[in-house]
């Protein structure tokens, strides 16, 4: 089983310099390779392979770019492999076209494919040496890759991917606990048994703070633009007109972003842990992120809750215990169907938090009813996959399950 552990690094000033140089070399090779690939394609309709470019590395080192010798050669190879993957993802419509890496981008990183060692609270990084770290969890198994990064706020991390040689636990064949969840804005998660996990308020508050900091930075950049133009210089030279106040405002904003990100990740881990501990399979609606993002106010709130991050973490935790995450098609009308009798209530609006079924008279909590329906649908999918499900609960008449699906 593979496992990723992210630990904080505390490099000395000298080591920080060495890390910055590694990042610089890796960034240079990425940009150079991307440029070569683009030019080869645009001018000659030729597609350069990573092997072709790899073969150039020794030429560069002994010729035009001798300083590349300072870099860990495997880290350079690794960045070429990453570029290759970026192209593959682009052609598979999974990602945008690979971009040139900027020196002034907030986060910088590079990866080692091997030769990293961990001992106590120190980590050995090739070309850097032993770096002080806080290893909060035992690094067990073989170290596969290590990604060293520096955040926009100047913190250093190592993300260590290990393989413990053990297979994933056998998937559970006979499922006795299934949970349906409805993802919402007021309550981030509602389960079919009525548990509601509210959307954390701290994110909303933090967002206000972020917006203010962003505006303050924009104002300063605008002022620098005016100074630049007034001096008769092109905007390409804008950076030279940045004062220390911009650097400070940037750091400030980056720090605020980091706090929000960390708080959200923590929350997602807690919620997904809690759900995974209680059940063997979770059924959730697939989220049409793109479609929903068209509604800007809703988009803000969704980005807030971080549904996709939550579902991804939940899936990993369930899999690690042999469980399942079932994605239910979003076109399935989970909200409108009465989970008791299958009647469809087409008059339901977004505002209705509760409603009474016209056919059977059951009073429904909108989200709980949706979660029950999603659970029914998920159970059908589990059964269709050939698994045995003997989960109880939800007050479901088995003869209705077919109706809900229809
Ligand atoms: Zn009904």
pLDDT digits (tens, 9 = 90+) for 95-146: 789 999 988 777 899 999 988 999 989 999 999 999 999 988 888 889 999 9
Average the pLDDT over 192-203 and give the result: 86
Select which of 72, 192, 285, 304 is catalytic: 285
Which long-range CB contacts under 8 A does 128-133 form with residues at least 24 apart?
A: 128/11, 128/15, 128/18, 128/19, 128/22, 129/15, 129/18, 131/9, 131/10, 131/11, 131/15, 131/156, 132/9, 132/10, 132/11, 132/12, 133/7, 133/8, 133/9, 133/10, 133/158
What single-letter DSSP state applies at residue 337? B
Residue 273 predicted with pLDDT over 80: yes
Average the pLDDT over 163-185 and give the result: 88
pLDDT at position 22, please?
A: 95
Residue 92 predicted with pLDDT over 50: yes
Select which of 182, 192, 304, 315 is catalytic: 182
CA 358 / ligand 1 centre spacing (Å): 7
Helix (H) or strand (E) holding 52: helix 50-54
Asked if 365 and 194 count as a contact pair (C-beta separation under 8 A), the reply is: yes
CA 292 / ligand 1 centre spacing (Å): 29
CA 390 / ligand 1 centre spacing (Å): 24
User: Does the annotation mark 182 as catalytic?
Assistant: yes
Neighbours of ion ligand 1 (CB under 5 A): 338, 340-341, 343, 357, 359-360, 362
Look up residue 267 and give its two tokens: 């929350």
Q: How confident is the model at residue 406 (pLDDT cuts 50, 70, 90)?
A: very low
Residue 179 predicted with pLDDT over 90: yes
User: Does the annotation mark 72 as catalytic?
Assistant: no
Share of the chain above pLDDT 90, in %: 56
- Among 16-25, 42-51, 136-145, 179-188, name the most confident range: 16-25
- Report residue 392: phi and psi, to 5°: -105, 180
User: Does the annotation mark 285 as catalytic?
Assistant: yes
Distance CA 193, CA 178 (A): 11
Query: Would you list the domain boundaries of the chain?
Result: 2-163, 178-201+268-405
Tens digit of each residue's pLDDT (9 = 90 or more) over 328-378: 987 778 888 999 999 999 888 878 889 999 999 999 999 999 999 999 999
Average the pLDDT over 53-67 and give the result: 92
pLDDT at position 242, please?
A: 87
Q: What is the mean pLDDT of the chain?
A: 87
Distance CA 29, CA 64 (A): 13
């Amino acid at each position: 089983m593979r496992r990723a552990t992210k630990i904080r690094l505390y490099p000395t000033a000298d080591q920080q310099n060495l890390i910055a140089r590694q990042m610089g070399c890796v960034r240079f090779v990425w940009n150079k390779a991307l440029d070569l690939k683009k030019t080869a394609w645009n001018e000659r309709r030729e597609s350069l392979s990573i092997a072709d470019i790899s073969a150039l590395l020794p030429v560069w080192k002994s010729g035009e770019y001798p300083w590349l010798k300072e870099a860990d050669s495997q880290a350079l190879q690794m960045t070429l492999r990453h570029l290759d993957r970026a192209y593959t993802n682009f052609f598979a419509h999974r990602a945008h076209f690979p971009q040139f890496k900027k020196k002034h981008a907030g986060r910088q990183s590079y990866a080692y494919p091997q030769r990293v060692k961990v001992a106590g609270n120190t980590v050995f990084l090739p070309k850097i040496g032993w770096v002080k770290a806080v290893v909060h969890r035992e690094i067990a198994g073989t170290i596969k890759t290590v990604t060293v990064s520096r955040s926009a706020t100047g913190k250093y991390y190592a993300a260590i991917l290990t393989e413990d040689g053990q297979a994933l636990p056998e998937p559970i064949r006979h499922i006795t606990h299934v949970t349906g969840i409805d993802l919402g804005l007021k309550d981030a998660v509602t389960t079919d048994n009525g548990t509601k996990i509210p959307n954390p308020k701290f994110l909303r508050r933090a967002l206000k703070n972020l917006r203010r900091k962003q505006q303050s930075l924009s104002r300063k950049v605008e002022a620098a633009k005016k100074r630049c133009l007034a001096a008769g210089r092109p905007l390409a030279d804008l950076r030279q007109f940045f004062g220390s106040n911009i650097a400070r405002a940037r750091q400030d904003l980056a720090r605020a972003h980091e706090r929000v990100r960390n708080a959200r990740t923590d929350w997602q881990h807690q919620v997904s842990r809690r759900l995974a501990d209680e059940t063997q399979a979770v059924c959730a609606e697939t989220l049409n992120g793109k479609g929903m993002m068209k509604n800007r106010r809703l988009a803000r709130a969704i980005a807030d809750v971080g549904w996709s991050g939550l579902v991804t973490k939940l899936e990993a935790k369930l899999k690690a215990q042999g469980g399942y995450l079932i994605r239910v098609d979003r076109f399935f009308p989970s909200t409108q169907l009465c989970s008791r009798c299958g009647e469809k209530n087409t008059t339901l609006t977004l505002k209705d938090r509760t409603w009474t079924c016209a056919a059977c008279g059951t009073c429904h909590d909108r989200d709980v009813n949706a979660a029950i329906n999603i659970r029914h649908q998920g159970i059908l999918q589990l059964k269709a996959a050939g698994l045995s499900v003997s989960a109880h609960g939800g007050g479901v008449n088995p003869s209705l399950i077919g109706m809900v699906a229809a």
